[in-house]
Amino acid sequence: MSEEVLASLIFLLLGIIGMIINIICIVKLLKMVEMQNMFGYICLSHSISNLGVCTIYVFWTPLIILVLPETKFTYTLNIRIGQLGMFFWYISIYCHILVCINRFIAIYLPLQYNKCFSNFNTKVFLLFLWCIPIIHVIPYFFPKCDYYFDSTSYIFTFSASKCSEMLGTIIDFHLTIAYVTFTIFVDFLICVKLFIRYKKALRDNEIKMLKKKATISPAGGNKTFFRFTSMKRTVNPSQHREGITSNGSNSKATMKTKFFFQAFCQNLIFLLEILSFYVFSSYFTSKLCIMAFTSCAWELCHLLDGLCLMMFNGEIRKTITKCSF
């Protein structure tokens, strides 16, 4: 098997798996009532960007490696495809940032959450989420500011020009590092808050257990009276409401924690992809090894993003386990 065919098959395999996973996520997110909120809409946008990148790797990269000749039209189309890939990439970046902000407010400022993410504010956030990446890719329309898939090295790369160097090194690399640093810092703050909350819950549970032991009737007590009062004891309606509220609060807290760990895992995948693309790949000289740590890492990042969303949401997992939408 030739190197070109092997590279194309790898792109196809990863891309098709990524497309299937993210299509399932998109369909389920549109149907799930509990995801009809800011966090759910960010996840939906993220899944769409994941699908976009995987689609490029399925339908474009094998075509340009194996089929299309090197012509002016092909090159022009190639840089537009690269521009589209960067558009989806920046959507993914801003989804990570918005998710971090969303989880931070949900955990640190729960009483302000509905105000911060009201219907109007949600629409504004989503508008910015899709408009800012458009602004990012406008410079790629300028002459010699090209980003394209190199069919000889099997990677998306910038052309050898001053404009491309500025876009690739100064803007793309440094901006991405700044965003990753921000998300790691916010995730750290959220972890601290969750740890404090967990310790408090353990302490409260210990106090409840001690109180429960203290109120147990001593051995040899009046068993008849104890049995009578146990059977006849009435429940105060307010206590019943408090129990329901407590259960609801616990459920919401669990959901917030689950959503945070989903976002944390996705940010970790994002960080590893950046390190792979800019750091790990520099230690290799083989074309296929460089491809594995750059192009495949990018494709795998968007595949695992969708898989992470699927694993942390039981309703989406059912689609796989029960083979039903």
Give pLDDT, residue 226.
43
322 pLDDT tier (thresholds 50, 70, 90):
low
Please state the rounded mean pLDDT for residues 29-57: 92
Q: What is the pLDDT of residue 53?
A: 96
pLDDT value of residue 57: 96
Angle (deg, nearest 10), helices 38-59 and 72-108: 160
Which segment, 103-107, 159-163, 274-278, 301-305, is predicted with the most confidence on average? 301-305
Give the residue, 210 or 58, on which the prediction is more confident.
Answer: 58
Predicted confidence (pLDDT) at residue 152 exceeds the cutoff of 60: yes
* pLDDT digits 0-9 by tens, 159-201: 888 888 888 877 888 888 888 889 989 988 988 888 888 788 7
Burial tier of 245 (Cβ tally within 10 Å: 0-12, 13-18, 19+): exposed
Q: pLDDT class for 231, splitting at 50, 70, 90?
A: very low
pLDDT grade for 276, boundaries at 50, 70 and 90: very high
CA–CA separation, 118 vs 4, rounded Å?
Answer: 51
3-state secondary structure the chain: CCHHHHHHHHHHHHHHHHHHHHHHHHHHHHHCHHHCCHHHHHHHHHHHHHHHHHHHHHHCHHHHHHCCCCCHHHHHHHHHHHHHHHHHHHHHHHHHHHHHHHHHHHHHCHHHHHHHCCHHHHHHHHHHHHHHHHHHHHHHHCCCCCEEEECCCCEEEECCCHHHHHHHHHHHHHHHHHHHHHHHHHHHHHHHHHHHHHHHHHHHHHHHHHHHHHCCCCCCCCHHHHHHHHHHCCCCHHHHHHHHHHHHHHHHHHHHHHHHHHHHHHHHHHHHHHHHHHCHHHHCCCHHHHHHHCHHHHHHHHHHHHHHHHHCCHHHHHHHHCCCC
Q: Give 6 or 207, the one with higher predicted confidence.
A: 6
Q: What whole-number percentage of the chain has pLDDT above 70?
A: 84
Tell me the C-alpha distance between 322 and 325, whole Å: 9
Q: How much is the average pLDDT of 190-216? A: 78
State the average pLDDT over residues 233-255. Answer: 49
CATH code assigned to 3-210+253-323: 1.20.1070.10
> Which of residues 310 and 10 earns the better pLDDT score?
10
Mean predicted confidence (pLDDT) in 72-86: 94
Residue 10: count other Cβ atoms within 10 Å of its Cβ. 20
CA 77 vs. chain centroid, Å, equals 30
Provide the residue ranges of all domains of the chain, joining segments of one domain with +: 3-210+253-323
CB 117 within 8 Å of CB 99 = no
Distances (CA, A) of 240 to 121, 204, 236, 246: 36, 20, 6, 10
Pairwise CA distance, residues 304 & 291, whole Å: 18
d(CA 259, CA 266) in angstroms, rounded, equals: 11
Average pLDDT in the chain: 84
- Confidence check: pLDDT of 316 > 90: no
Least confident of 1-10, 15-24, 228-237: 228-237
Mean pLDDT of 216-244: 46
Mean pLDDT across 108-123: 91
- Region 141-170 average pLDDT: 88
pLDDT at 227: 46
pLDDT tier, 314 (very low <50, low <70, confident <90, very high otherwise): confident
